[in-house]
Chain A
């Protein structure tokens, strides 16, 4: 019964956020669709001389990071806005769980990220003539991207609910995004990282998702761990990050 109420509440928060996007439909579509497609197209024009590996690096980077980073940033910033505009107090006075609220906010950003990721995947796959491979692996790739996003949602929620003001929320979420983007071996092969950073990158769910996407698209590429080990690591990190997120969300203030 409680699970059902949480699911309904998450859907209602998601719907409220979607309705609120009506007046920002143009930037929403631009961010979700037009920019990723345009960017991928321009990159494809510039990449006529690229090797297959370079093309793969771009597509894996764009896929793994676009969804994860837009979700972590979007969740952190939306929650911070709700907090600092006083709306979080309105939500926290209601008989709903913080996880339902966070899930509702996440769904809004996930939807935008998924549209972007699908656009990159399909347009990039078509332009680089690997559409057949991409379509065949679409469900697995999408599942991996979603998994890494879900792991990072807790981080976004902690930043959003614990920020002292909007600027702090933006700074922390941007800093987290940059760290994730730099440390995730998505735009470059994992072997390029120095040993210490390679070790640090293993603590990020996006690393394992990127390695698994790379393995799916090009099984011969070397990855730091075996595909099974990456899968186990990704599952473990989802559990750890989610637990940290639950513990860190500030729903009742001190």
Chain B
């Protein structure tokens, strides 16, 4: 498959010495939904801003659709669109005016811009708000306007920096279905997210980042199987840890709201059996599953 984005040895050191990206090398293929995951401060936004020609790298090479972004950012920009992390809107424009003017700045003609705006208003459930001033909308609706503007026109690659942060579940699902539609059209999307469910549902491949480095790259399934030698056991917190009569060792214990999660090595069959048997004596409410992407994420962050 054709390479859409090619990043080699990318380093970004901010003034003051903060090393936000530290030797990143990866490729994104055309038609992929590529997820960038990582905790706060992992360097995800810095990476997106460099990929989109808005931030100069300290060293390394970035090619987007074969164009050197560092040397020719203006040549890349007509081929991409960006949804920044900040919900930076022009508050005194109506939703329609906001989208229309950004469509025009993307190079669309007046009639194309009007057509595109109507399309994204429909896609993002914004039609009923089209004549409202953006400044008078709720935070979630403002976010939808910013995400919607990234889908105006026919960009070959769409960069979405935490697109669904601040959206309610319905809004999040609307954005997901738009992204899925784009994926079906074979267009390339790079997205950063904190939501593992989002990454698992949308991404064809993910890159886990921590402290500016790529820790793992692969499909959500393959990344998950890095912890494939573990089993996850989940039970209500009300049961308590005491019933197990064990602690520490090779078990990872995690507090998950009203639940406790144990990540236990599969190889230690007798330990798994003992835990399950003791828990079943205390409750029927237990879940046994393979680790999720979130488990991998938490392991990476912890490490």
B92 close to chain A: CB less than 8 A: yes
**Interface digits, B89-110 against A, CB 8 Å rule (1 contact, 0 not)?**
1111100010001101111000
Selected from B73, B92, B101, B146, the residue in CB contact (under 8 A) with A15 is B101
Known contacts A93-B82, A96-B105, A252 near B97 by CB under 8 Å: no
Closest to B153 in A: A95
A3 close to chain B: CB less than 8 A: no
Known contacts A5-B107, A252-B53, A252-B73, A89 near B101 by CB under 8 Å: no
B229 close to chain A: CB less than 8 A: no
Residues of chain B lying within 8 A (CB to CB) of residue A12? 101, 104-105
Candidate in B88, B97, B102, B133 with the most chain A CB atoms within 10 angstroms: B88
User: Contact size class for B?
Assistant: 20 to 34
**Interface digits, B262-281 against A, CB 8 Å rule (1 contact, 0 not)?**
00000000000000000000
Known contacts A20-B92, A86-B84, A95-B74, A9 near B105 by CB under 8 Å: yes
Q: How far is the CA of A22 from the CA of B92 in the complex (A)?
A: 8
Q: How many A-B residue pairs have CB under 8 A?
A: 77
**Interface digits, A1-34 against B, CB 8 Å rule (1 contact, 0 not)?**
0000100110011011001111110000000000
**Interface digits, A71-111 against B, CB 8 Å rule (1 contact, 0 not)?**
00000000000000111011111111100000000000000
The answer to whether A89 and B84 have CB atoms under 8 Å apart is yes
Q: Which of B51-96 contact A (CB under 8 A)?
A: 52-56, 73-74, 77-78, 80-82, 84, 86-93
Shortest C-beta distance, B23 to chain A (Å), equals 19
Shortest C-beta distance, A174 to chain B (Å), equals 25
User: Contact size class for A?
Assistant: 20 to 34
Known contacts A89-B54, A93-B81, A23 near B92 by CB under 8 Å: yes
Q: Interface of B with A (CB < 8 Å)? A: 15, 49, 52-56, 73-74, 77-78, 80-82, 84, 86-93, 97, 101-102, 104-107, 133, 146, 149
Q: Interface of A with B (CB < 8 Å)? A: 5, 8-9, 12-13, 15-16, 19-24, 85-87, 89-97, 252-254
Contacts A20-B90, A89-B49, A95-B77 known; 9 new A-B pairs at CB < 8 A? A20-B92, A23-B133, A24-B92, A86-B84, A87-B88, A95-B107, A252-B53, A253-B56, A254-B15
Complex A-B, nearest 9 residue pairs according to Cβ-Cβ distance, in ascending order: A86-B88, A86-B86, A93-B82, A20-B92, A95-B77, A95-B78, A87-B88, A94-B105, A253-B55
